Amino acid sequence: MYLPRSLISHLYNDLVRSRTSLSPSVLVLVSLEPDALCACRILTSLFKNDYVQHNIKPIAGYADLARVGEEVIRPMRTTEGGSGGVVVCLGVGGLVDLETILGLEVDDDGNGGMGGLDVWVFDARRPWNLANVFGMQSRVEQVNGEAVSRIAGVEHGKILQTFKPGEGGIIVFDDGDIEEELRAEKEAYCALAEMPDVDEEDDGDDSDDSDAGSDHDADDMIPESGQPQIADSDESDKSSIGEKRKRRSSPQFSDDDHEDSDPEEGTPNKRRRSNSSSPLPSSSRPAARSLMILSKPNDQQVGQHAEASTHGQPSAKKLRKQLLKLKRKHDSVLRKYYNLGASYSEPISSLMWNLASELGRDSNDLLWLAIVGVSSGQISGRTASGIGLSPISTSGTLSSWTKDRGERIRAIFRDEVRRLNPTDLRDLAREVGGDTGIIPTRAYSPTDNSIRLTPEPRFLLVRHWSLYDSMLHSPYLSAKLHIWSDAGKRKMHKLLAKMGVSIQQSKQNYQHMDMEIKRGLGEKLVRFAPQYGLEGLVPPETRLNSKEGWGFVRCWGWKACLSAIDSGIILGAILEVGDMDVKTAAEQARNAALQSAAHSGTSTPSNNQDAPLQGAKAPTPAQAQLSREESLLRRFWSAYDALGDVMQLTSAIPTAQHLHRAILRTGTSLIEKRQIRHLRAFRMAVVKEGPDVALFTHPGALVKLALWLAEAISEMDSLKGARTGELVMAGLDEARGVYVVVGLGGGSAVAKMKEREARVAERKKERERTKAERKAAKDKKRQQRKDRLAALGESDAEDEEDDETESEASESEEESEDEEEAPRGKGLNRFGNAFQEVIEETGVRVKVDSFEHCVVEIRKEDLSGFLESLCMKAVVG
Q: At 681, which CATH number? A: 3.10.310
Cβ atoms within 10 Å of 801's Cβ, excluding its own: 10
How remote is the C-alpha of 383 from its chain's centroid?
7
Three-state DSSP state, 325: helix
Kindly give the pairing relationship between strand 85-90 and strand 158-159: unpaired
3-state secondary structure 745-806: ECHHHHHHHHHHHHHHHHHHHHHHHHHHHHHHHHHHHHHHHHHHHHHHCCCCHHHHHHHHHH
**With contact defined as beta carbons under 8 Å apart, do 92 and 123 qualify?**
yes
Q: How far is 334 from 195, CA to CA, in rounded Å? A: 15
Q: How many domains does the chain have?
A: 4
Q: How far is 291 from 112, CA to CA, in rounded Å? A: 13
Tell me the longest C-alpha to C-alpha distance in the chain. 122
Q: What is the pTM of this model?
A: 0.78
Cβ atoms within 10 Å of 561's Cβ, excluding its own: 23
Q: Give the angle subtended at the CA of 180 by the CAs of 178 and 184, to the nearest 5°.
A: 75
Q: How far is 420 from 429, CA to CA, in rounded Å? A: 20
Is 851 part of a structural domain of the chain? yes
Is 479 part of a structural domain of the chain? no
Q: Give the angle subtended at the CA of 334 by the CAs of 328 and 339, to the nearest 5°.
A: 115
> Measured between alpha carbons, how far apart are the two ends of the chain, in Å?
28
Q: How far is 574 from 566, CA to CA, in rounded Å? A: 12
Dihedral pair phi/psi, residue 119, rounded to 5°: -105, 110
CA distances (Å), origin 633, targets 39, 366, 600:
17, 24, 26
Question: What residue type is assigned to position 65 of the chain?
Answer: L
Q: How far is 5 from 773, CA to CA, in rounded Å? A: 49
Q: Which of 416, 417, 393 has its CA nearest to residue 406?
A: 393
Q: Are residues 833 and 803 in the same domain?
A: no
Q: Are residues 782 and 693 in the same domain?
A: no
Q: Are residues 777 and 835 in the same domain?
A: no
Q: Are residues 57 and 106 in the same domain?
A: yes
Q: Are residues 807 and 697 in the same domain?
A: no
Kindly give the pairing relationship between strand 270-271 and strand 244-245: antiparallel
CA distances (Å), origin 64, targets 639, 736, 788, 863:
19, 18, 86, 25
Is 357 part of a structural domain of the chain? no
- Domain harbouring 84, CATH code: 3.40.50
Print the domain residue range for 249: 200-303+311-326
Q: Are residues 151 and 273 in the same domain?
A: no
pLDDT means over runs of 10, the chain (877 residues): 91 91 91 95 95 94 93 91 92 92 81 86 93 74 54 85 87 90 90 77 48 39 33 35 34 43 35 37 35 38 48 74 90 91 91 94 94 90 79 48 71 91 69 60 87 88 93 91 91 92 91 87 87 83 68 91 94 86 46 48 40 50 75 91 93 94 94 89 89 91 93 79 74 91 71 55 75 81 78 57 49 44 68 89 87 92 89 75
Inter-axis angle of helices 364-379 and 564-576, to 10 degrees? 70
The domain boundary residue, chosen from 193, 215, 244 = 193
Cβ atoms within 10 Å of 810's Cβ, excluding its own: 13
**Region of 516 on the Ramachandran plot (φ > 0 left; ψ -120 to 50 alpha; else beta):** alpha
Q: DSSP letter at 540?
A: P
Q: Are residues 286 and 171 in the same domain?
A: no
**With contact defined as beta carbons under 8 Å apart, do 180 and 121 qualify?**
no
Kindly give the pairing relationship between strand 117-122 and strand 85-90: parallel
Cβ atoms within 10 Å of 637's Cβ, excluding its own: 12
Q: Are residues 267 and 162 in the same domain?
A: no
**With contact defined as beta carbons under 8 Å apart, do 666 and 705 qualify?**
yes
The CB-side HSE value for 810 (13 A sphere, CA atoms) comes to 13
Is 775 part of a structural domain of the chain? yes
Q: Which DSSP string do the residues of 688-755 spell out, in sequence order?
A: -SSTTGGGGGSHHHHHHHHHHHHHHHHHHHHHHTPPP-EEEEEEEETTTTEEEEEEEB-HHHHHHHHH
Q: Are residues 741 and 772 in the same domain?
A: no
What pairs with residue 846 in β-bridges? 858
Look at the alpha carbons of 136, 137, 138, 144 in this order and tell me if their dihedral is positive or negative.
positive
Cβ atoms within 10 Å of 812's Cβ, excluding its own: 10
Question: What residue type is assigned to position 66 of the chain?
Answer: A
Q: Which of 181, 182, 180, 160 has its CA nearest to residue 171?
A: 160
**With contact defined as beta carbons under 8 Å apart, do 265 and 634 qualify?**
no
Residue 821: per-residue pLDDT: 47
858 Cβ contact partners less than 8 Å away, ≥ 6 residues apart? 730, 738, 739, 741, 844, 845, 846, 847, 866
**With contact defined as beta carbons under 8 Å apart, do 274 and 283 qualify?**
yes
Q: Which DSSP string do the residues of 402-458 spell out, in sequence order?
A: -HHHHHHHHHHHHHHHHHHSPPPHHHHHHHHTTGGGS---S-SSTT---EEEE---S
- Extended beta strands in 208-328, E state: 244-245, 270-271
Look at the alpha carbons of 847, 848, 850, 854 in this order and tell me if their dihedral is positive or negative.
positive
Q: Are residues 205 and 298 in the same domain?
A: yes
Q: Are residues 206 and 189 in the same domain?
A: no
**With contact defined as beta carbons under 8 Å apart, do 876 and 682 qualify?**
no
The domain boundary residue, chosen from 193, 210, 235 = 193
Cβ atoms within 10 Å of 684's Cβ, excluding its own: 18
Is 80 part of a structural domain of the chain? yes
Kindly give the pairing relationship between strand 726-733 and strand 682-687: parallel
Say if residue 747 is exposed, middle or buried (CB neighbours under 10 Å; 0-12, 13-18, 19+). Answer: buried
Is 337 part of a structural domain of the chain? no
210 Cβ contact partners less than 8 Å away, ≥ 6 residues apart? none
Q: Are residues 846 and 803 in the same domain?
A: no
Residue 149: per-residue pLDDT: 55
Is 253 part of a structural domain of the chain? yes
**With contact defined as beta carbons under 8 Å apart, do 97 and 283 qualify?**
yes
The domain boundary residue, chosen from 193, 223, 244 = 193
The b-or-e profile of 280-305 (16+ CB within 10 A means b, else e) is bbbbbbbbbbbbbbeeebeeeebeeb
Is 474 part of a structural domain of the chain? no
Q: DSSP letter at 25?
A: P
Residue 150: per-residue pLDDT: 67
